[in-house]
Amino acid sequence: MEPAAPPASPPPPPAAAAAPGSAGLVCAQGRNLRAVLCQRCGSRVLLPGAATFARRELLLPAMRKKAAAAAAGGGGDVLREHWLVRDMFSFENVGFTRDVGNVKFLVCADCEAGPIGWHCLDDKDSFYVALERVAHE
């Protein structure tokens, strides 16, 4: 007689399975489980459930103080995991840079840290907030 097999564990939610870097941040419906905060000042950017997890390669300029960014001139990071927000009024606290080509970058409205995200002017309903550039509570 063979020993009884251990009970099968439930499969992970599809969003979490597809996004190993976002474990514990994405619910089964693919939305943010926790509030999204500015890494520098802790200001609340998004409430829980306000955004959907999305994978897309986007180039964001490096996060630096204004003086350092002006002196360095360029550089950036390719980021792949983002919170996708479909309505700009879903944000609790976010600012936008001036147009850079057809893109506006998202920054913390309180301390101006950023860019934390990206918005293409050609797509009025897509605002991306990089998971690596924000904190969660």
Q: Where are the domains of the chain?
A: 29-67+76-136
Helix/strand/coil for 100: strand
DSSP 33: S
pLDDT reported for residue 61: 94
- Any idea which architecture 29-67+76-136 has in CATH? Beta Complex (2.170)
Spatial distance between the Cα atoms of 93 and 8, rounded to a whole number of angstroms: 43
Q: How many CA atoms lie within 13 A of 6 on its CB side?
A: 2
Residue 80 token pair:
């792949």
Least confident of 23-32, 85-94, 123-132: 23-32
pLDDT reported for residue 131: 97
pTM check: above 0.75: yes
Q: Work out the average pLDDT over 43-47.
A: 98
Least confident of 19-23, 28-32, 40-44, 123-127: 19-23
